[in-house]
Every structure is written in structure tokens, then in C-alpha cells.
Structure 1
Amino acid sequence: MLEGKIAIITGGAQGIGAAIAKRYLHDGARVMIGDTNQQRGEATLRELAAIGDARFMAADVSSRLDVHNLVAATVEAFGDVDILVNNAGVVHAADFLDLAEEDFDRVLRINLKGPFLCSQAVARHMVERVRNGGVPGSIINMSSINAVVAIPDQVPYSVSKGGIAQLTRVLALSLAEYGIRVNAIGPGSIRTDMLEDVLSDPAAKERMLSRTPLGRAGDPAEIAAIAAFLASDDASYITGQTIFADGGRLPLNYMVPVNT
């Protein structure tokens, strides 16, 4: 699906980002992963190198200089950028009344400002290529069901994902004249390291499953499959959309039986 394409995946050292990198490599793309966790990133790169042509660069998406360097390193290594996946993100749990300003700022800086900076840097490259007769590219933002619903002790995370939903729409309209598509993926409960604490707690796991009609957590590979589709020519007429992969949670307005 992605033969010959070149992708940047932020937050690619683990979880959903690493799964997307693996899927892209299997589909024929070359991949640059960026992450602040250098040790984890280098370990993931060793796994990815067995699949295809991948690189890693330590980068903080909330830093304009790091973003510039990440894009420049990708172009230097591969010659171009066709796909950007804005996957890097953090969470911070705190009661609203106790939430510190610096923690609110940190989450918004990474989860919302980061995708803005990365998208702007990559889009400038893509627009120049289109103006010179080249083909447009695709930008994919990682949203969440929390762009629609909310968790009381996840104030900055929920706010940042609501912002991602609107950023996706605005960028899609801004870049449509160049044929650059911008979409988002909104995962529900996905089996990553972040979810392991929930899955290891029987009561917490039952609460999660009671609001998930399909009766299970999702797998990162299932999100990666959507990212592959959105980056491919099969999605050539889709832009400004968020695809929610949540096991049926968002339409639900009641609890479902849980088989444990």
C-alpha cells in the first residue's frame, strides 16, 4: 500500500507509534521515528531494522528546533517526506481543583502544539513539492475518544484531544488546495503499556469492558491498519475526518454485560 513512501512517526518508540512504524515498513515505506526516549527508540529501531529501512532521531515535538531537525534529517536520509503521523503524546492525572498550571501547559505543549509544529514544518515541504509538480502527501493526527467524551481527572489530555479534532479540520481545509490530506484516528482502550495497569486490575478492567460493546481492548496493530489506510491512495478522497476505533464505545449510552 505504501511502496516507496517516506514517513515520519512521532512518539514512535513504543505502543501505537511503534506498531504504525512496523505496519508502514511491511507496506513498503521507509520510516523515521522520533521520540524523546532515546533508549527505547534505539531498541525499537533494532526491531524495525529487521523489517525495512528505518531511522531514529531523539526529538521533542514541542521544540521548534527539534521539529526542524527531525524533518531535515528525514529529507537528508530519504530525500523526501510523504507521510507525517503526529502520534507523540502524554497524559497527566489530577483533580481539576489540584491541577498545576505547569502540568496543564506541558500536556498541551506536547499533545497540541507538537502536532501544530510538526504539521507546519512537513506541510511547508509538501507544498513546495506540489508547486514544483510533485505529488501531495498525507498528515495523520492521533486523537482519542476523549476528543468527544471526557475523564474528570484527565483535564489537559481531554482538552488537547479536543484541540486535535479541530486542528485536523482546520489543516484539512488549509491544505486542500495542494491536495494534502489531513485526518485523525481516535482510539478507545488500546492494549499499550499505558493500559496495562487497567487490565491488571480486575475492577478497572470490568469498568472498561462494561463500556466496550466488542468486549475487549484494541490492539495497536488495529490502529496501525487505519494509519496505513489513511496514508494510502485508497483514502484519496478522505480529508478532515476522525476515524474512531473504540470497540463501539462512543455510540453506547448504557452498560454492557462483561464476561470475565
Structure 2
Amino acid sequence: MSFSIQGKTAIITGAATGIGHAIARHFLDEGANVVFSDQNEKRLKSNCDDLASSENCRLFVGDLREKLAVANLLSTTLDAFDRVDVLINATRSFMLTDPLDAADDSVETLLDQNLNVALRTSQAVARRMILQAEQEDEKPQEAGTIINISSIAAHRTQPQLMGFSISNAALEQMTRSMGVALAPHAIRVNAIAVGSLMSGTLRDTIAEHPEYRDSIIQGTPLHRIGTASEVAELAQFLASGASAFMTGQVMTLDGGRSVLDTVQRPAH
């Protein structure tokens, strides 16, 4: 069983910071060609400054809500590496929702950013993967892999997170649907649903509300907060031949938080 991604070409969106950046760095370290994609040019260039001389790395700046940006992302990848083998949709936007405010457009905004961007990018990349497979002398066992980064919020109910939860639930259904649709083309589609990870945003929240850290740990059976590097390692598994018989699946990485029932039965 091989976890190698050596020589594969991967596009990773949301790669300026957080999970996307950790995955992109990890894939680069594991010998993949990596396109770091993000719409925040300043942050992307700042966090990737040390990679400027790498032959196996390219930076792409663009708002993937625009169809032209998706096309340009794919062109940048092909110009640099001639092909694409892996797409990781790690663009994640977060905002609170007021479920009773008719003027609150957060649900619409998050569906566009967390679902539609992943859908359009996946469709464009999948078409290229299919074309690559058709150009091979023999039909490959695997034409490509697509990995979506979701959240356990998709299955938990917190009204103020309604927009975020809905967009992630939709992303997971997209994963299952595209997993089936692309299976005849030897393209696998899976997702990783993450719990609380120690990111810049979470650090800021904990700094302002120290009790929040204890709340997370108490609600997590493994009694700690996860790291982006752990997501990166799971993404490598899903991009490698070790997961060759997996598609349409959502793997949960949350320290057991999503399986914990916080309402305990009284002791007798």
C-alpha cells in the first residue's frame, strides 16, 4: 500500500493560510507539483515568499467565484506542469447568520463561496482529467482525485452557524453525487469534515474568550484541538493509491467531537 504522491500535480485552493496552506506545503514536501491558489494576493505571496525559487510550485491569484478565474487557474497549472492529477477544494469562508433576519444574505454568500466555487472548479478540473485519460495509450486505473474540505458543522445544529452549516452540508452532498458521476471516468471524489483546528481565527477567539478552549476540549473525546497538519496527512492518503477503492465518502477528523452526546443519562 503506497501513500506516495511523488510527481503528481495538485491544485489547492484557499492555499494562502490555514488548512489549504498546510496541505499545499505538505504536498510540496512529499514531492508533488503544487499550485497554491487564493484570492488574497498579499497574504499568498507573504506566506509563500520562501517558495519563490521552487520549480515544483506556482502561485495563482484569483477570485474563483468568477468563471474566468477558474479557467485561468487551470491554464496556469497546465502551462507549468502539463497536467493535473489532484484538486483540493480548501477554500472556506465563515460568517454568522441571523436566521430571523430577512435582510441577512449570509446563507446565499456562503453557498456561493463554499459550494459553488468548489463545484465549478471541480467540473473544470474533472473535464481536464477525463481528457488526459483519453489521451493515454491505455485506460488508467485512476484518472484523478478531488478532495473537498468540509466541516462537522454540516451535521450539527447551531442557529447562528446556519449559513456555514448549510453550505458544508451541500458540499458533502456534492461529494457523494460527483463521486458517483465521475466513477465511470476513474476519478475519485472524497471529503474531509474537520472539527476545531488550531488556526489563526481560533487563536484570536480563544485570546478574547479563554473559556472557549476549555469548552472545545471538554466536548472532544480526545481532549485536544486538532492541527492543520493532521488534515494534510489525511488529504495525502485520499490523494494516494492507498485509498484507490474509496469514492463518494466523507471522512471525519474531529477527535470524536461529532459522535459525543453531551446530554448524559443520570447515574442510578
Which bracket does the TM-score occupy, shorter chain normalised? over 0.9
* Maintained 8 Å contact 1:22/1:51: no
1:187–1:52 distance in 2 versus 1, CA, 3 Å: farther
Q: What is the aligned partner in structure 2 of residue 70 from structure 1?
A: 73
SS of 1:154's partner is helix
Counterpart in 2 of 1:220?
Answer: 228
Letter matched to residue 38 of structure 1: E
Q: How many residues align?
A: 256
Tell whether 2:194 aligns with 1:187: yes
Match of 2:11 in 1: 8
Letter aligned with residue 62 of structure 1: R
Alignment partner for residue 159 of structure 2, among 148, 152, 173? 152
The yes-or-no answer on 1:39 pairing with 2:42 is: yes
Measure how far apart 1:34 and its partner are: 0.9
Aligned twin of 2:177: 170
Q: CA deviation at 1:106?
A: 1.7
Moved more, 56-65 or 226-235: 56-65
TM-score normalised per structure 1: 0.94
Aligned-partner Cα distance in 1 for 2:66–2:88: 17
Whole-Å separation in 1 of the counterparts to 2:157 and 2:5: 35
Over the residues paired in the alignment, what is the CA RMSD in angstroms?
A: 1.7
Question: Does the 8 Å contact 2:97/2:107 carry over to 1?
Answer: no
C-alpha distance in structure 2 between counterparts of 1:159 and 1:100, whole Å: 18
In 1, distance between residues paired with 2:32 and 2:134?
Answer: 23
Runs of 4+ in 1 over 4 A off after TM superposition: 49-52
Unaligned runs of 5+ in 1: none
For 1:28, what is the secondary structure of its paired residue?
coil
**In structure 1, distance between residues paired with 2:223 and 2:155:** 21
The aligned runs of 1:105-120 (5 Å cut-off) are 105-120=108-123
What SS class does the counterpart of residue 97 from structure 1 fall into?
coil
Deviations 1:128-157 (A, max 9, x none): 111222640100001110111132211111
Which runs of 5 or more structure 2 residues have no equivalent in the other structure? none
SS in 2 for 1:67: helix
Give 1:52 deviation, angstroms: 6.4
**Bigger Rg, which one:** 2
- The secondary structure found in structure 2 opposite 1:139 is strand
Alignment map for 1:30-109 (pairs within 5 Å): 30-49=33-52, 53-98=56-101, 100-109=103-112
Go from structure 1 to structure 2 and tell me whether the alpha carbon gap of 1:77 and 1:50 turns closer, same or farther (over 3 Å shift). closer
* 1:216 shift after superposition: 1.0
State the Cα distance separating 1:254 from its structure 2 match: 2.4
Q: Is the 8 A contact 1:185 1:243 kept in 2?
A: yes
Q: Which residue of the other structure, out of 243, 250, 253, is the alignment partner of 2:251?
A: 243
Summarize deviations over 1:151-198 as a string: whole Å, max 9, x none. 221111100000011000000000001110000000100011121133
The offset of 1:202, in angstroms, is 2.0
TM-score (ref. length: structure 2): 0.91
Structure 1 255/220 Cα, relative in aligned 2: closer, same or farther at 3 Å? Answer: farther
CA distance in 2 between counterparts of 1:223 and 1:47 reads 22
Cα deviation per residue 1:191-234 (whole Å; 9 max; x = unaligned)?
Answer: 11121133322221122112111111101000000011100111
- Structure 2 residue 199 is matched with structure 1 residue 196: no
CA contact (8 A) 1:61 1:88 kept: no
* Alpha-carbon separation, structure 2, partners of 1:255 and 1:233: 41
**Letter aligned with residue 114 of structure 1:** V
**Using the alignment, how far apart are the partners of 1:242 and 1:84 within structure 2?**
16
CA apart distance, 1:101: 4.4
* Distance of aligned partners of 1:79 and 1:70 in 2 relative to their CA distance in 1, 3 Å threshold: same
Give the superposition deviation at 1:50. Answer: 7.0
Q: Sequence identity of aligned pairs in percent?
A: 38
Partner Cα separation in structure 2 for residue 5 and residue 99 of structure 1: 46
